[in-house]
């Protein structure tokens, strides 16, 4: 029993650890390791939340230090700035886990001066949403593939 729990724990850590870097990679890994879809979604969300939290906690002081050090002049706003201006922290938090990944999304939010608490809240909501949605999509895809294989093998 202890050995089985240890093996499962290693799988959970692998999915969470992979998700620290990339949510898109953690979900297929969870399925490859034969974790239940709900555990795959849970541990992939945990890993991404940890990475966003670390960037936000370390990023705020780092940004302040950089701004004091280099005192950057206002530059012409680019595409990301336009998106930020239109949708703010809520939009960034909801879409960045899917489009850029949680760590880069958190860096973008911190660089635009988002309040840490609000950024973490919306990043967490976005991460949980996309973890569940992507896990569900992969699970449906695998189930559909298995059904097709069974029907093809029965002919």
Q: Looking only at Cα atoms, what is the longest distance across the chain?
A: 71
Winning range, highest mean pLDDT, from 27-36, 50-59, 101-110, 136-145: 27-36
pLDDT score at 43: 97
Taking the alpha carbons at both ends of the chain, their separation in whole angstroms is 41
pTM over 0.85: no
pLDDT score, position 104: 85
Residues 46-86 have pLDDT tens digits of: 999 999 999 888 876 766 665 565 555 445 556 566 767 88
d(CA 77, CA 33): 44
pLDDT at 73: 46
| Number of Cβ atoms within 10 Å of the Cβ of 55 | 23
Confidence of residue 11 (pLDDT cuts 50, 70, 90): very high
> In angstroms, what CA-CA distances link 55 with 29, 60, 89, 91?
24, 8, 15, 18
Cβ–Cβ under 8 Å, residues 27 and 44: yes
Return the closest-CA partner of residue 122 out of 53, 24, 39.
53
Residue 80 vs residue 33, higher pLDDT: 33
Question: Which residue did the predictor score with more confidence, 95 or 77?
Answer: 95
| Each residue's pLDDT tens digit, 120-132 | 999 999 999 999 9
| 129 to 49, 94, 126, 146: CA distances (angstroms) | 12, 8, 5, 26
- Tell me what percent of the residues of the chain surpass a pLDDT of 70: 81
What is the per-residue pLDDT for 155? 47
Instruction: Give pLDDT, residue 74.
Output: 46
């Amino acid at each position: 029993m202890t050995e089985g729990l240890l093996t499962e724990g290693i799988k959970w850590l692998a999915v969470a650890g992979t998700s620290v870097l990339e949510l898109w990679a953690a979900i297929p890994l969870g399925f490859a390791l034969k974790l239940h879809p709900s555990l795959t979604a849970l541990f992939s969300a945990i890993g991404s939340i940890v990475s966003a939290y670390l960037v936000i906690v370390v990023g705020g002081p780092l940004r302040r230090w950089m701004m004091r050090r280099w005192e950057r002049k206002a530059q012409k706003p680019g595409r990301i700035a336009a998106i930020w201006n239109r949708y703010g922290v809520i939009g960034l938090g909801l879409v960045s886990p899917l489009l850029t990944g949680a760590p880069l999304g958190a860096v973008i939010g911190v660089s635009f001066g988002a309040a840490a608490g609000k950024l973490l809240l919306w990043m967490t909501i976005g991460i949980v949403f996309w973890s569940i949605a992507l896990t569900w999509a992969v699970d449906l895809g695998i189930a559909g593939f298995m059904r097709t294989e069974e029907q093809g093998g029965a002919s």
